[in-house]
Homo-oligomer: A and B are copies of this chain.
Amino acid sequence: MVERILEAAHEVLLVEGHDAASTNRIARRAGISPGSLYQYFDGKEAIVDAVVARYSDDLAARVAAAFTTNLGARGETVAHDSVAALLAALEADAEMLRVVTEQLPLAHHRERLVALRDQVTQLVATYLAAQRPTRAVEPETAAWLLVRTVEQLTVRYVLDAPSIAREVFVSELTHLVLAHLEPRRT
């Protein structure tokens, strides 16, 4: 039954949008009574939160899997494959990505997002610190910049569908990451 509610809430969010996602509508789509929602969830916020959590966890798992399996490869390969994997993961449910990033006020799930981002940032910082040689810059600083850059660009690429070929985009973003890590030319 919990599954049924989550499924219905997911569909309502996709089809009707967050602003029109009322508890009664979720219940009707799930084929149950409004009252039954509250036997399994504390309220509307908890329902939406659970849907977002499921999406977020699924996304995190995909990305983490792709990232950790390639850690041993050359830097270029790690960067390229990570970008490609992230792109693929985001494309898996682009509609939900749009709901989360464009309809839900960020403040509603800020904590979850920040935690995830900090976790990834920490992971990348650790990876960078273990790599020799990079430029003389704090790994935390470089990781902070790069994680947010890759996240933002891949998300916008999926949602805005710019007229940039997919392989060009992946290659350019990879280059952006690697170029920033190389020693300065001056």
Which positions in A face B, CB cutoff 8 Å? 17-19, 101-107, 110, 114, 137-138, 140-142, 144-145, 148-149, 152-153, 156, 160, 162-164, 168-169, 172-173, 175-176, 179-180, 182, 184-185
How many copies of this protein are present in the complex? 2
Q: Say how far A149's CB is from chain B's closest CB, in angstroms.
A: 5
Neighbour of A172 across the interface among B101, B102, B114, B141, CB < 8 A: B141
Known: A17-B107, A102-B106, A179-B180. 7 other contacts (CB 8 A): A103-B107, A141-B169, A145-B176, A148-B152, A176-B179, A179-B182, A182-B185
- Determine chain A's interface SS by DSSP, over half rule: helix
- In Å, the complex CA distance between A18 and B103 comes to 13
Inter-chain contact B175/A162, CB cutoff 8 Å: no
Inter-chain contact B104/A105, CB cutoff 8 Å: yes
Q: What residues of B have a CB within 8 angstroms of the CB of A114 in the complex?
A: 160
- In Å, the complex CA distance between A113 and B159 comes to 14
